[in-house]
Structure 1
Amino acid sequence: MTKPAFLNNSFTMNSETHNSYGERIFTGLAYLIISIFGTTGNSLVIIAILLSRKLQTPTNIFVASLATADLLTCLFLIWNVIALLGRDGWPLPHAEWLCAVAGFAIFTCTGVSVYTLATIALNRFVFITKSLQTYQKIFSPIKIRLMIVFTCYTFVFTHIKRHFKKKRENELNNIALAEGSSIDQSTQRRADGISQMELNITKNLFLVVVAFFVCFSPYCVLQFIPGTYYLSLYGAILVVANSAMNPVIYARRHPHFKIVLTALIKCQYDKIPEPTDFLKRFLARRVDPFP
């Protein structure tokens, strides 16, 4: 039987590349655990954003995009588990397309995660270092939608470059016309206006980026070291584990997510801050939205 190409990589080892069925069972069980926790955690993150207006910020739109990509990764990971637990490889000979689709989906979602993390970093950079007007102009609702739909941020870079070039020209003109250090004072006022809460959110999102690189680095390094293909199987476990880590980071460290996620887990929906109209209707009718 012809095996799909996806079966021949370290994410879904089969009997042709790994002689030990025990190793494949270990990997399959690890994937299964990651899939269960990742599906649950990322679903809670998405639901939290849908139910609380407090979480519906430009930054959290990208968080929702990242959670969606991670959720899809965890859902499609189930097919990898099926492939790994089959003694002779893919156990569904008439549905090999499922394995190919799963491979395509996982690699695509990984790419989306990379782009989303890059945009989150850009979002925090602009918010912390630039004026509120600049931030609102770059991350307007329509532009955020385009970023999410295409996961392509070339136009953002172009816009920033053009905008900042114009801003520098205006600043030079202001320096020539104004006395004192008005620009420095403006920068100081902006820095004073950034709350400790926003700094904590930025630190939390930085941890998300760090976790991504920590999980992906070992696998990537192993690909360039001859004779380590055997170890890349375990590196792949760490890669997919990243899809289940972010909800834990949000729940433990993000000041807003922590409150909403705790309320969801405890089914205390009336304690969700700034509930959306959808949640208000359910609470008013005394109907549990998650029976």
Structure 2
Amino acid sequence: METTPELDYSLLMDDLPENGTQRVISVYELYGYFNVVIVSTIFCVIAFLGLTGNTMVFIAVGLSRKLHNITNAFIVNLSICDFLSCTILPFHAVAVIAEDGWPLADWFCSFIASLSIITQTSGILNLTMISLNRYVLITKPRKLYMRVYTHKKVAWMIAFTWLFPFLFLLVPQFFLSGLGYQDFFRICIWNSRHKLALVFQGIGALAFIISTILIIFSYVSIYRFIRRHMRMMANKEGGNDPAASVEIVEEESALNDNKIGTSTKSHRSTKKKTISRKQIEITKNLCLVVVSFFICVLPYTIHLPTGIYDMRGTYLALLFMSHACINPILYAAKHPHFKVIFSCMFRCKYSEIPMPTMGVKKLFRRATSASTYSSTDGRYA
């Protein structure tokens, strides 16, 4: 089958003599109805996996204080982005199935387009924040980390990931009517035919490029730092010289108003290697999250400027959106803390959750009290 030429809408219009209007021929009409079934199904599968996985991330953080640290604040924020992205995918599926245009209210289509723009941009900004956090945590002195990542500053960093796309990408398009339903692709997104569309897409592209540069810089610097220190440790007798150890801040300390207990200080020399190993594992996992993100995003990003508008772009867009359901899978498989807590959740062994929160402790106390009461007078089954 021949590919569709560049998007010349004048070539894709059908005259409707009964009412004298025209409609755009969609990409699904050009390439067959079976693509409607495939695309709508994939939308729903990504939504189900993403909503389930990211909900588990929220629950895991609510169950264990071990996950209450600075890096995981950004991870939870990223999960919120992915969760919101997945909530709108079923509506995209509805739009694909509907043959007579957007079946719901126009304002709702604009809302879906707005949410898509905000969550996708906020996602890459969150990955940048995570990368910079790992960079400062591992390669910089402990005092600098504690000074940079305070409660207030972290709150502003998280707010920035939402305010930037809202103020610079979304608000201007509300006033310029740049959001709505795209007949050719049957999707709610910004209007690519708007005279200022390239301006907003350029702002988004600039944010993506700067974020990519910062992410690459952070992980390359971390890799070089760890390799250099591991070589130093290997050159020492038995690798036990404290001067050669990689000193890494315990992130839980940063959440306690920058106060580090005397027990942590007194055992720092014995805990250094264990902390270092776990933090390196966490960094590897988060680097894998970044790599998977770019694997999903780059093909569509490269394809978009080509001006080739066919089903290839649609399927690459599906790959682009699939990263919203991949991150929880990576946490469950590789993250040393999330993996343990997810395992307890899957096996329903909540008593084995490390450092349970007060809510979990209260639940266990009530369960224990009820069990004890049942065994004494037999009143409860």
Q: State the TM-score, normalizing by the size of structure 2.
A: 0.60
In the alignment, structure 1 residue 74 sits paired with structure 2 residue 113: no
In the alignment, structure 1 residue 234 sits paired with structure 2 residue 327: no
Identify the residue that residue 206 of structure 1 maps to in structure 2.
287
Moved more, 81-90 or 270-279: 81-90
In the alignment, structure 1 residue 147 sits paired with structure 2 residue 157: yes
Identify the residue that residue 143 of structure 2 maps to in structure 1.
133
Moved more, 190-199 or 234-243: 190-199
Identify the residue that residue 119 of structure 1 maps to in structure 2.
129
1:223 to 304, 313, 317: 304
Amino acid at match of 2:154: I
Find the residue that maps to 1:128 and give its secondary structure. helix
Amino acid at match of 1:270: S
Find the residue that maps to 2:28 and give its secondary structure. coil
Deviation at 1:104, TM superposition (A): 1.1
CA gap 1:15/1:57 in 2 versus in 1, 3 angstroms: farther
Percent identity for Structure 1 against Structure 2: 34
Find the structure with the greater CA-based Rg.
Answer: 2
Deviation at 1:18, TM superposition (A): 2.8
Q: Give the total of aligned pairs.
A: 243
Amino acid at match of 2:37: I
Identify the residue that residue 346 of structure 2 maps to in structure 1.
265
Identify the residue that residue 328 of structure 2 maps to in structure 1.
247
1:59 to 60, 67, 71: 71
Deviation at 1:212, TM superposition (A): 0.7
1:90 to 102, 105, 111: 102
5 Å matches for 1:155-194?
Answer: 188-191=244-247, 193=272
Amino acid at match of 1:83: A
Q: Distance in 1 between matches of 2:289 and 2:283?
A: 10
2:362 to 281, 287, 290: 281
Q: Distance in 2 between matches of 1:187 and 1:99?
A: 59
Find the residue that maps to 1:91 and give its secondary structure. coil
1:51-96 per-position Cα deviation (integer Å, ceiling 9, x unaligned): 110011100000000001000100111211111111223223xx12
Give unmatched runs, 5+ long, in structure 1: 1-7, 9-13, 155-184
Q: Distance in 1 between matches of 2:108 and 2:358?
A: 39
Deviation at 1:148, TM superposition (A): 1.2
Q: Distance in 2 between matches of 1:259 and 1:235?
A: 34
Identify the residue that residue 176 of structure 1 maps to in structure 2.
none
Give unmatched runs, 5+ long, in structure 2: 1-8, 10-23, 165-206, 208-240, 249-271, 369-381
Deviation at 1:15, TM superposition (A): 5.5
Deviation at 1:43, TM superposition (A): 0.6
Q: Distance in 2 between matches of 1:22 and 1:53?
A: 48
Amino acid at match of 2:48: I
Do 1:21 and 1:87's aligned partners in 2 also have CA atoms closer than 8 Å? no
Deviation at 1:191, TM superposition (A): 4.4
Amino acid at match of 1:16: S
Which has the larger share of strand?
2
CA gap 1:187/1:78 in 2 versus in 1, 3 angstroms: farther
Deviation at 1:272, TM superposition (A): 1.2
Q: Distance in 1 between matches of 2:308 and 2:116?
A: 26
1:234-271 per-position Cα deviation (integer Å, ceiling 9, x unaligned): 00111111000000000000010001111122222111
Amino acid at match of 1:135: Y
Find the residue that maps to 1:267 and give its secondary structure. coil
1:36 to 40, 44, 48: 48
Q: Distance in 2 between matches of 1:144 and 1:117?
A: 14
Question: Which fold has the larger relative contact order, with Cα–Cα distance below 8 Å and residues 6 or more apart in sequence?
Answer: 1
Amino acid at match of 1:106: S
2:110 to 96, 100, 103: 100
Q: Distance in 2 between matches of 1:141 and 1:190?
A: 25
